[in-house]
């Protein structure tokens, strides 16, 4: 599959495509799991803990990813400075 045509799009169009694609996947997933989630009884409130745990895991994953991206860009910047001097 050749996706090089994406590089030729303006940034705003590319952002709209990506946001629309990710948003549509989220909405489709919500519609597919809606009946299943409604059947789950929530009498004791333990699903609040499940949601909190899921959000915490997502935040940890995001923070580690952001940290690695920051370190990588900092390393690239210092490599460029060393090579140009």
Which helix (H) or strand (E) is 70 found in, with range?
A: helix 46-84
Residues found in the chain? 85
pTM for the model: 0.49
Rounded Cα–Cα distance for residues 16 and 24 (Å): 12
pLDDT score at 85: 61
Of 2-11, 26-35, 37-46, 49-58, give the lowest mean pLDDT range.
37-46
Annotate 57-66 with b (16+ C-beta within 10 A) or e (fewer). Answer: eeeeeeeeee
Q: Are 40 and 47 in contact (CB under 8 A)?
A: yes
pLDDT of residue 55 exceeding 70, the answer is yes
Where do we find the tokens 């009884």?
41
């Amino acid at each position: 599959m050749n996706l090089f045509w994406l590089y030729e799009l303006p940034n705003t169009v590319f952002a709209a495509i990506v946001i629309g694609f990710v948003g549509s996947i989220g909405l489709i997933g919500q519609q597919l799991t809606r009946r299943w989630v409604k059947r789950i009884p929530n009498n004791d409130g333990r699903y609040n803990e499940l949601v909190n745990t899921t959000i915490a895991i997502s935040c940890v994953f995001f923070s580690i990813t952001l940290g690695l991206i920051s370190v990588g860009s900092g390393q690239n910047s210092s490599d460029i400075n060393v090579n140009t001097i």
